[in-house]
Amino acid sequence: VAKPDPILRASGVRRSFGGLTAVDVEHLEVQRGTITALIGPNGAGKSTLFNLLTGFDRVDAGEWSFEGRRLNGMPGHKVARNGMVRTFQLTKALTRMTVLDNMLLAAQGQIGERFFGSFLRWRWAEQEQANVRRAMELLERFRLDTKKDDIAGSLSGGQRKLLEMARSLMVNPSMVMLDEPMAGVNPALVQSLLGHITALRDDGMTVLFVEHDMDVIMGISDWIVVLAQGQVIAEGRPDDIRSNEQVIDAYLGA
């Protein structure tokens, strides 16, 4: 058994909306180099937890560190530059942009503040070239390179999911958080998406993902964390979770 080596540790993370406690996580650790699944019924707080940890929503309480660095209160683009990213569904605005522009926009977090002055503008251009190279590498890896000048809105459901994944990799993250990466994808493409997810781990990345399909979850996860009504009610290896009555109750009781 490998020694624990958490890349992410969180404690006491809470978020309420009005009277509703959406997230109330006493303790959570994600081990480096694993594929960890976050599962639970609809409304369990999975997406909210993703938003909180990646700086796209504010906690009411709690603290967490990533690679030993405290991230509490850090805005999303800075969290991304620290190596922890979450995927976002293509918004309406993004669907009107080309595939390549989607990739370049995702790199903005890496460039950070706007620069002025001709020297800095030249540095910017250099950075932009590096971003284009990186974008094209990723588009090839996800077989989207021939679509680079297409409007993102013209992609199929599966290709959109690939683009969402590719976008998140523009900042060279060490941990990727995928929120329902298989949702709405043609079953024929599911295997290919799964292959991309395991490839991320094989490249040394840590993956935390939300998914509903039990076969998918059991097939690729090293560890499973079960969330219900904002709380972690169980965690363990796939075989332990499969036979856990609390987990079955949480799903059937939803």
**Residue ranges binding ligand ADP (CB under 6 A):** 17, 20, 22, 40, 42-48
Q: Which two tokens stand for residue 180?
A: 């329902």
Partner interacting with residue 168 (select from ligand ADP, Mg ion, none; CB below 5-8 Å by kind): none
As a whole number of Å, the end-to-end CA separation of the chain is 34
Closest approach of Mg ion to the CB of residue 202, in Å: 27
Closest approach of ligand ADP to the CB of residue 111, in Å: 29
* 231: β partners: 228
Are 38 and 209 in contact by the 8 Å Cβ rule? The answer is yes
* Contact between 47 and Mg ion per CB under 5 A: yes
Closest approach of ligand ADP to the CB of residue 27, in Å: 18
Closest approach of Mg ion to the CB of residue 46, in Å: 5
Closest approach of ligand ADP to the CB of residue 61, in Å: 16
Tell me how far apart the alpha carbons of residues 30 and 67 are, in angstroms, rounded to a whole number.
11
Residue closer to ligand ADP by CB (options 127, 231) is: 231
> Counting beta carbons within 10 angstroms of the beta carbon of residue 106, is it exposed (0 to 12), middle (13 to 18) or buried (19 or more)?
buried
Q: Which stretch binds Mg ion (CB under 5 A): 47-55, 57-65, 68-76, 137-145?
A: 47-55
Residue closer to ligand ADP by CB (options 40, 55) is: 40
Q: Which stretch binds Mg ion (CB under 5 A): 30-38, 43-51, 161-169, 243-251?
A: 43-51
Reduce the secondary structure of 31-99 to three states and give it as a string: ECCCEEEEECCCCCCHHHHHHHHCCCCCCCEEEEEECCEECCCCCHHHHHHCCEEECCCCCHHHHCCEH
| 223-228 vs 231-236, strand pairing mode | antiparallel
Comparing CA positions, the residue from 22, 32, 21 lying closest to residue 208 is 32
Residue closer to Mg ion by CB (options 47, 102) is: 47
Closest approach of Mg ion to the CB of residue 210, in Å: 6
Are 55 and 133 in contact by the 8 Å Cβ rule? The answer is no
Residues 199-228 that bind Mg ion (CB under 5 A): none
Residue closer to Mg ion by CB (options 50, 142) is: 50
Residue closer to Mg ion by CB (options 34, 47) is: 47
Residue closer to ligand ADP by CB (options 83, 230) is: 230
Partner interacting with residue 22 (select from Mg ion, ligand ADP, none; CB below 5-8 Å by kind): ligand ADP
Tell me how far apart the alpha carbons of residues 156 and 179 are, in angstroms, rounded to a whole number.
18
Query: What is the contact surface with Mg ion in residues (CB under 5 A)?
Result: 46-47
